[in-house]
Amino acid sequence: MEDLTKRILRLEEASSVLEPTASTREAWMEEVLTYAHRFIDRMENEKAFIEEYQTDNAFEEIDFKEKISMEEALQFLDQHVDSIGLNPASGGHIGYIPGGGIYPTAMGDFLAAITNRYAGIFFGGPGAVRLENSLIRWLCQLIGFPQNAHGNLCSGGSIANLIAITTARDKKGITSKKVDQSVIYVTDQTHHCVQKAIRIAGLNESILRYVPMDDRFKMDIEVLESLLKEDKEKGLIPFLIVGSAGTTDTGSIDPLDKMADLARIYNCWFHVDAAYGGFFVMIDELKDRFKGMERADSVAIDPHKGLFLSYGLGVILIKDKKAMYDTHFYKASYMQDAQERFDEISPADVSPELTKHYRGLRLWLSLRLFGLDPFKKCLEEKYALALYFEKEVQKIGFETGGEPELSVVLYRYKNTTDKNKFNKLLTEEIHKDGRVFLSSTTLNGEEWMRAAILSFRTHKRTIDLCLDMLADCVLRVKKRL
């Protein structure tokens, strides 16, 4: 039998490649950087979307027992991942809600991964938790929440909304016995992740009222008021009103201030999903449109949308930090040392996660390296581009859903007898073309296209390219018909 010490040393030797030498690290880094920089530098002249529906067996054929070089790994990524489908990093991504990915996100993530600070519990990572909590306090200030509000940096808007809804459920005492009498008020334009969150939170049997909207897709406040009144009179429990500060489809902002009034009167939790639109509150010209957001109980706001970070950072802000804590805090004997220190609230105590990505660093580094002003200017540019697109697109035969409230423009080709059919075909042509990526939607049974302008890489030249592409695609559809 092999001696235990010998065995340990043999295994150490065999697994020592897991700690590459400085020269290997440097060589890998150089290759990765070359790849990354080439990706960024070429992007402007490449398509934003390459349609790809074929099966790719390359992933099934991989044998993870075999190792490959960094060069081969990067070649694989280039061929099978990074050059097909949508390029969310491209300024030509003007569909859905664009991503972006400012460079310091990568630097922050790199450092977070190397240092692997434990950002879940203050005891283990006091600096990392302080850093993340300072961002939360800054965001609270930005949206007009008091300094004693709290929040959590999570993976995106869906989880941010989920944290708010579970907290609201508990704070309002919606136990299983009350679920089927409890009422939640949304609109048809509320993001579907809210409905997902409602189900995950065990509220699927709640009564979900889709409050009608006005012609700009904003919640009709008078109908909301009468529904709340009727529900109360019926002995039901109105407990949650969800407003949107920038809907995904149209960029509309609900009448937040009036919703806040009603939430107060009817003792409801008022949640605002500002995942897409929230950061536009920094623009002086647009600030007033968000009036009432500061009166919400909770606000979801996504830096991986409105601050142009790469995917992976959403934020939930909640005024009643005790409620947040009550919903998420747990004790465990193996955590007893950690729980002795309490200088700062630990993310693990106010979210479903324990061990988590140290995701605050990417935002902190971005803000520290650039300062806030370029972010504001870039958002203002996106708003101005939306105004420009809305005007210009009408000159090439399109009608629009009106002046954009934020940076989403609704439009469709109008000079045709069957608008729905024509615009459906137009979307197909746009996707085949791919110079710019645009997405469509259905509103009141009608086919519309959306230009969602939010990438930091989208500029006037991108919008002009988009207009040229639309004009070309219209001609192609006409040929098909």
Ligand X SMILES: Cc1ncc(COP(=O)(O)O)c(C=O)c1O
User: Which spans of this chain sit near ligand X (rule: CB under 6 A)?
Assistant: 97, 156-158, 191, 193, 244, 248, 273, 275-276, 302, 314
Whole-number minimum distance, CB 189 to ligand X, in Å? 9
Whole-number minimum distance, CB 10 to ligand X, in Å? 46
Q: Which is nearer to ligand X, 213 or 467 (CB)?
A: 213
Whole-number minimum distance, CB 244 to ligand X, in Å? 6
> In whole angstroms, how large is the CA radius of gyration of the chain?
25
Whole-number minimum distance, CB 230 to ligand X, in Å? 28
CB 310 within 8 Å of CB 106: yes
Whole-number minimum distance, CB 273 to ligand X, in Å? 5
- Which element (helix H / strand E) includes 273? strand 269-273
Q: Which is nearer to ligand X, 275 or 430 (CB)?
A: 275
54 vs 472: CA distance, rounded Å: 26
Q: Which is nearer to ligand X, 228 or 275 (CB)?
A: 275
Q: Which is nearer to ligand X, 276 or 375 (CB)?
A: 276
Q: Which is nearer to ligand X, 108 or 243 (CB)?
A: 243
Residues 242, 205, 267, 197, Cα dihedral to 10°: -40
Q: Which is nearer to ligand X, 158 or 298 (CB)?
A: 158
Helix then strand count (H, E) for the chain reads 15, 13
Whole-number minimum distance, CB 309 to ligand X, in Å? 11
Tokens (6 digits) for 142: 């930005």
Q: Which is nearer to ligand X, 49 or 122 (CB)?
A: 49
SS3 for 180? Answer: helix
CB 441 within 8 Å of CB 249: yes
Whole-number minimum distance, CB 52 to ligand X, in Å? 22
Q: Which of 393, 387, 376, 363 is nearest to 456 (CA)?
A: 376
143 vs 282: CA distance, rounded Å: 9
* CB-based contacts of 386, cutoff 8 Å, min separation 6: 251, 404, 406, 407, 408, 409, 451, 453
Q: Which is nearer to ligand X, 275 or 425 (CB)?
A: 275
According to DSSP H, which parts of 150-218 are helical? 157-171, 192-200
- The closest residue (CB) to ligand X is 157
- CB atoms near residue 458 (< 10 Å): 28
CB 383 within 8 Å of CB 367: no
Q: Which residue bears the tokens 């995106």?
A: 156
Whole-number minimum distance, CB 300 to ligand X, in Å? 7
473 vs 49: CA distance, rounded Å: 15
Q: Which is nearer to ligand X, 193 or 198 (CB)?
A: 193
- CB atoms near residue 232 (< 10 Å): 15
Whole-number minimum distance, CB 162 to ligand X, in Å? 9
Q: Which is nearer to ligand X, 125 or 156 (CB)?
A: 156
Q: Which of 59, 62, 54 is nearest to 85 (CA)?
A: 54
Q: Which is nearer to ligand X, 90 or 346 (CB)?
A: 90
What letter would DSSP give residue 253?
A: B
Q: Which is nearer to ligand X, 119 or 159 (CB)?
A: 159
CB 269 within 8 Å of CB 182: no
Q: In 422-479, at which residue ranges do the beta strands (DSSP E only) sit?
A: 439-443, 446-452
**C-alpha distances out from residue 41 to 35, 83, 86, 105, Å:** 10, 14, 17, 17
Residues 225, 228, 229, 233, Cα dihedral to 10°: 170
Whole-number minimum distance, CB 411 to ligand X, in Å? 19
What letter would DSSP give residue 79?
A: I
* CB-based contacts of 148, cutoff 8 Å, min separation 6: 321
Whole-number minimum distance, CB 50 to ligand X, in Å? 22
Residues in the chain: 481
Whole-number minimum distance, CB 292 to ligand X, in Å? 17
